[in-house]
A and B are shown apart, each in its own frame.
Chain A
Amino acid sequence: MIVEIFNNFPYIFRPSLLLLFLTITVLFLTWLERKTLAKIQMRMGPMFVGFHGTLQPIADAIKLALKEDILPLWSNKQIYWFAPIAVFVPAFLIWVTLPISNVFVVRNLELGLFYIVSISVLSVLGMVLAGWSSANKYAFLGGVRAAGQLISYEIPFIMAILSIAMISKSLNLITIVENQSSFPNILVQPIGALIFFLSGLAEIGRTPFDIHHAESEVAGGPFIEYSGAHWSVFFLAEYINTFTVAALVVLLYFGGWNWPTMPFEGNTHSFLSALWFLFKCYLVVLLIFWIRGTSPRLRIDQLMSFCWKLLAPLSFANIIVTGFILYYKLPWVILSVSSILLLIVALYFIRKKTNTSPQKTIKLYSANELRAAGKNNSGLETNND
């Protein structure tokens, strides 16, 4: 029945349906995140508003809508108000082509994957503008960090997507899912899945890659001066992006709604597929929240070297290996094996990196050294590493 209603829904009004779906998802995700984090930290989480705090997100939303919007005195007014829109609109636009099942999609594009890549690039600008226009040094630092991080991690992100496009010979998301009916892509592309998931985490700024809005370092980063409704727009975009990455991981690597294929025919099949897809998405979302609850944040130099020295070369190697195997039409098993080999190499390098001593960013001087420097009046030797 729901499928019929959706199919008869006019195209022009489908975006509003999408907005409704995304808003409900975000409200549910905020509740889920608080509950998951509470579970990890052996707390109860929100309990008072509704059954086990289920109405807490609505209370939060009303609170945020009623809060005062503060405009900093030195800020650049037009750009300050423009920045939340520049972050939110791309996050929303991506969902135009993301299918929830073979019928629940606003518009299935032939170039779906490429569309997602090109739209997601736009959100960097909003972060930089928010940081710059706030006229606050923490916001500025956060904006610059966001730009560095997002632009760097786009490379492994896009390269992982590209290898999937090579395997399924299509950019259409529904075709990609239907190609996975016998086995999901994760079996032939474990390294691609890892690269995609990690760089996706970095793209949405989730722990352990939440460098640009780290509370202890830049006090919230680009969002530091925002309050009330405008802050909640950033918040909305962040949760939508989290769900987008989860949905993309499921669509590209875990067979979407198609693996294992749901029983029944026609509309019942489509409806069950949608539920199955959403269930998988929430599993990935829970994984993201789990990582947030248990792992510490990377340092900025670790973040950059992880991307440029490990993820980017690996993703290029993955493309070359995948292309080689596809060109010579070797069996899929060889692709799986080579991908697992690459994965082992990656894990070896990650382990090796973590065992080395940290890079020196601070030099400690003993009191005697300081006294000697004062006597000679020559100053300390600075460490230029």
Chain B
Amino acid sequence: MIENSNLASIIIFYLLAITIIVSAIGVAVSKNVMLACLSLLATLLGIAGAFIFLAADFMALVQILIYGGTVVTVIVFAIILTNLKDFSNLKSTKQAPFAVAACIVALACLITGILNSPISETALKLNYISLTFLGRYLFTDWAIPFELASLVLLIALIGTVLMVKANKETDK
């Protein structure tokens, strides 16, 4: 029984990983902007699946709510309000090598960071992170970062309103 569930979890993990990687490549390669956006959705939902696989249900749902639901919808909205013909002849420019180099450097940084980070014993012991646990830490030990994040969001909100207002004045 244990071996069976191990096999199942390995299969699920590889299915998720393949979904994430293939659709992430799709985002970069696809010439159709809308298809690229949908591959992004698949990537993000795959990451949500990976979170569920790691018993972080809350993170998975937040991932679906914020990235899968809202961010992708906003991107789709931006795409449908532009003229797709402007993007029909996309070619790789001279900047491509620099972008590849930047990506490789970022990936290397991430991998070294992950490999060197100490995996705490408590994180390994927690096989399920309850919402009460998360909430208590957010409002006690991590209250200042939490409030700072909300401050950043507020600044973004005010900035958007200001930008829209400025545009309206120049339109007149």
- Interface residues, chain A, CB within 8 Å of chain B? 76, 78-79, 82, 109-111, 114-115, 117-119, 121-122, 124-125, 128-129, 131-133, 140, 143-144, 147, 151, 171
Contacts of A151 in B (CB 8 A): 70, 73
Q: How far is B80's CA from A143's CA once the two chains are assembled, in angstroms?
A: 10
Q: How far is B84's CA from A132's CA once the two chains are assembled, in angstroms?
A: 11
Cβ of B62 within 8 Å of any chain A Cβ, yes or no, is yes
In the bound complex, do residue A109 and residue B72 qualify as a contact, i.e. CB atoms below 8 Å apart? no
Cβ of B24 within 8 Å of any chain A Cβ, yes or no, is no
In the bound complex, do residue A122 and residue B80 qualify as a contact, i.e. CB atoms below 8 Å apart? no
In the bound complex, do residue A118 and residue B65 qualify as a contact, i.e. CB atoms below 8 Å apart? yes
Knowing A121-B65, A122-B64, the reply to whether A111 touches B58 (Cβ < 8 A) is: yes
In the bound complex, do residue B131 and residue A125 qualify as a contact, i.e. CB atoms below 8 Å apart? no
Contacts of B58 in A (CB 8 A): 111, 114
Q: How far is B65's CA from A129's CA once the two chains are assembled, in angstroms?
A: 18
In the bound complex, do residue A110 and residue B76 qualify as a contact, i.e. CB atoms below 8 Å apart? no
Q: How far is B81's CA from A253's CA once the two chains are assembled, in angstroms?
A: 40
B80 to chain A, nearest CB (A): 5
Cβ of B160 within 8 Å of any chain A Cβ, yes or no, is no
In the bound complex, do residue A78 and residue B35 qualify as a contact, i.e. CB atoms below 8 Å apart? yes
In the bound complex, do residue B77 and residue A110 qualify as a contact, i.e. CB atoms below 8 Å apart? no
Q: How far is B65's CA from A82's CA once the two chains are assembled, in angstroms?
A: 20
Contacts of A143 in B (CB 8 A): 80
Residue in A118, A121, A129, A171 whose CB lies within 8 Å of B76: A129
Contacts of A114 in B (CB 8 A): 58, 61, 131
B140 to chain A, nearest CB (A): 16
A245 to chain B, nearest CB (A): 18
Residue in A78, A110, A129 whose CB lies within 8 Å of B131: A110
Residue in A118, A124, A132, A147 whose CB lies within 8 Å of B64: A118
In the bound complex, do residue B80 and residue A171 qualify as a contact, i.e. CB atoms below 8 Å apart? no
Contacts of B72 in A (CB 8 A): 125
In the bound complex, do residue A117 and residue B80 qualify as a contact, i.e. CB atoms below 8 Å apart? no
In the bound complex, do residue A82 and residue B38 qualify as a contact, i.e. CB atoms below 8 Å apart? yes
In the bound complex, do residue B77 and residue A111 qualify as a contact, i.e. CB atoms below 8 Å apart? no
In the bound complex, do residue A122 and residue B69 qualify as a contact, i.e. CB atoms below 8 Å apart? yes
Knowing A121-B70, A128-B76, the reply to whether A79 touches B38 (Cβ < 8 A) is: yes
Knowing A109-B57, A125-B41, the reply to whether A144 touches B80 (Cβ < 8 A) is: yes
Cβ of B34 within 8 Å of any chain A Cβ, yes or no, is yes
B118 to chain A, nearest CB (A): 29
Q: Which 8 A-B pairs have the closest CB atoms?
A: A121-B69, A118-B65, A118-B61, A118-B64, A132-B80, A122-B69, A125-B73, A124-B73
How many of chain B's residues touch chain A, expressed as a range?
20 to 34
Contacts of A109 in B (CB 8 A): 57
- Interface residues, chain B, CB within 8 Å of chain A? 32, 34-35, 38, 41, 57-58, 61-62, 64-65, 68-70, 72-73, 76-77, 80, 130-131
A140 to chain B, nearest CB (A): 7
Pairs across A and B, CB under 8 Å, 17 listed:
A76-B32, A78-B35, A79-B38, A110-B130, A111-B58, A114-B61, A117-B65, A118-B61, A118-B65, A119-B64, A122-B69, A125-B69, A125-B73, A131-B80, A132-B76, A144-B80, A171-B131
In the bound complex, do residue A147 and residue B73 qualify as a contact, i.e. CB atoms below 8 Å apart? yes
In the bound complex, do residue A115 and residue B61 qualify as a contact, i.e. CB atoms below 8 Å apart? yes
Contacts of B76 in A (CB 8 A): 125, 128-129, 132
A86 to chain B, nearest CB (A): 9
Q: How far is B76's CA from A128's CA once the two chains are assembled, in angstroms?
A: 8
B128 nearest CB neighbor, chain A only: A110
Residue in A122, A131, A171 whose CB lies within 8 Å of B68: A122
Q: How far is B79's CA from A140's CA once the two chains are assembled, in angstroms?
A: 13
Q: How far is B42's CA from A78's CA once the two chains are assembled, in angstroms?
A: 15
In the bound complex, do residue A111 and residue B64 qualify as a contact, i.e. CB atoms below 8 Å apart? no
A144 nearest CB neighbor, chain B only: B80
Knowing A76-B34, A110-B131, A111-B58, the reply to whether A128 touches B69 (Cβ < 8 A) is: no
Residue in A111, A125, A129, A133 whose CB lies within 8 Å of B61: A111
Q: How far is B58's CA from A124's CA once the two chains are assembled, in angstroms?
A: 22
Q: How far is B155's CA from A287's CA once the two chains are assembled, in angstroms?
A: 43
Contacts of A79 in B (CB 8 A): 34-35, 38
A116 nearest CB neighbor, chain B only: B61
Contacts of B61 in A (CB 8 A): 111, 114-115, 118
Q: How far is B166's CA from A267's CA once the two chains are assembled, in angstroms?
A: 65
Contacts of A122 in B (CB 8 A): 64, 68-69
A118 nearest CB neighbor, chain B only: B65
In the bound complex, do residue B69 and residue A118 qualify as a contact, i.e. CB atoms below 8 Å apart? yes
Residue in B32, B68, B73 whose CB lies within 8 Å of A128: B73
Apart from A79-B35, A128-B77, A144-B80: 5 A-B pairs, beta carbons within 8 A: A118-B65, A118-B68, A119-B64, A124-B69, A125-B76
Q: How far is B38's CA from A79's CA once the two chains are assembled, in angstroms?
A: 9
A151 nearest CB neighbor, chain B only: B73
In the bound complex, do residue A111 and residue B80 qualify as a contact, i.e. CB atoms below 8 Å apart? no
Contacts of A147 in B (CB 8 A): 73, 77
Contacts of A76 in B (CB 8 A): 32, 34
Q: How far is B38's CA from A151's CA once the two chains are assembled, in angstroms?
A: 19
